[in-house]
Structure formats: C-alpha cells, structure tokens
C-alpha cells in the first residue's frame, strides 16, 4: 500500500536522498533543497510504502513573458526497488490535483511524451511555447483549467533555482527526457 501525502519538515533528508540516488548527479537533490529554501516549492508530495519514503515529486512556479504563472513539474523520483509499481503515476496524478487546488491553471514538464501524454500533457511547441533547455516536443504543457493555457506566449521560464542545472547538465537532462 502506497500513501501519497504532502511533504513534512522531517521528510527533507529522505527526499534529498531519493533524488541523489535516482539521478546521475546530485543536481536534482540540490535543486529541491534550493527551491524549498527559496519558498518556491509550490507542491511537494512524497510517496510512503513500507513505513518509509520511497518517492517524491516537486512543482515550482514557471512564467511566460506576459506574466502568466504555471506549475513546473520537476523533479520526480522513485526509489529503484519501488519502480514500475505505479508510484510515479500516482505522484503525478495527485500532484496535478494539488496544483489545481493551489490555484495553478496550467502546468509544464520536460519529459518523455510517451509517459506524460497519459496525464494529458501535449507538446508545448504546438501551443507556441518553448522551454529554456531546448526540449522540443519533450517540453509539454497541460491545461489545468479550461482556457487558461497562455498560447503563443513564447519562452516558459523556470524558477531561478534551476540555474543549478549547468550547461552540461541541461544537455544530459534533455537527452534523458527525450529518450
């Protein structure tokens, strides 16, 4: 049985470790810590199984030039022993519901279109939206409230804390998410 719940103060170390072990570098773990410290971790959910934290998903604000604010899904991690059990899907579904409840009307993700399309995400370029990382069709958008997606608004900017992603890390993340 998996329980998805909002992050609590005592969960920070376990969340850091899940991201540290799920990615080739420590950047995503540091990113979550930096978003939390800056107060930009808008939605942060954990998955518990066997009385321990086994997954985490983060959403932080993203903006377009016109000032419209949406939610950016990144990062998401599940402990290797708990993958392919639907935990990530439950984190995404519950996270998007929490984003709606928090007042977000649109969301973005940079990830595998085959995976994220099941949640309703569509290629951002089809709506005149691009990302800072050159993700192409791996950069996807989802309207959380009808008519709310800022169409043809150009570049979607992630929170300043995403600068932790160095140029080489951007390339690695983009190629991983595309494939």
Ordered domains of the chain (ranges, CATH)? 3-178 (3.40.630.30)
What pLDDT sits at residue 164? 64
Instruction: Report helix, strand and coil shares of the chain as percent, to nearest 5.
Output: 40, 30, 30
The per-residue pLDDT for range 145-163, each reduced to its tens digit, is 999 999 888 899 999 999 8
Q: Which two tokens stand for residue 81?
A: 């022993």
Under DSSP, the state recorded for 136 is G
What pLDDT sits at residue 166? 47
The per-residue pLDDT for range 123-143, each reduced to its tens digit, is 999 999 999 989 999 999 999
What pLDDT sits at residue 152? 85
Three-class SS state of 62: strand
Contact 72, 60 (CB under 8 A): yes
pTM score of the predicted model:
0.90
| pLDDT beneath 70: ranges in the chain | 164-179
What pLDDT sits at residue 168? 37
């Amino acid at each position: 049985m998996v329980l998805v719940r909002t992050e609590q103060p005592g969960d920070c170390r376990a969340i850091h470790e899940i991201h540290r072990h799920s990615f080739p570098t420590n950047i995503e773990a540091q990113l979550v810590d930096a978003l939390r410290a800056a107060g930009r971790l808008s939605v942060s959910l954990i998955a518990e199984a066997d009385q321990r934290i086994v997954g985490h998903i983060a959403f932080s604000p993203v903006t377009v030039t016109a000032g419209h604010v949406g939610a950016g899904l990144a990062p998401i991690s599940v402990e290797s022993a708990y993958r392919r059990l639907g935990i990530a899907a439950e984190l995404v579904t519950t996270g998007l519901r929490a984003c709606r409840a928090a007042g977000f009307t649109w969301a973005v993700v940079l990830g595998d279109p085959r995976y994220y399309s099941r949640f309703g995400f569509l290629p951002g370029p089809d709506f005149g939206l691009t990302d800072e990382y050159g993700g192409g069709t791996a950069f996807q958008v989802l309207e959380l409230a009808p008519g709310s997606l800022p169409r043809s608004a150009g570049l979607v900017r992630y929170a300043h804390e995403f600068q932790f992603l160095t140029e080489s890390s951007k390339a690695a993340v983009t190629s991983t998410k595309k494939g």
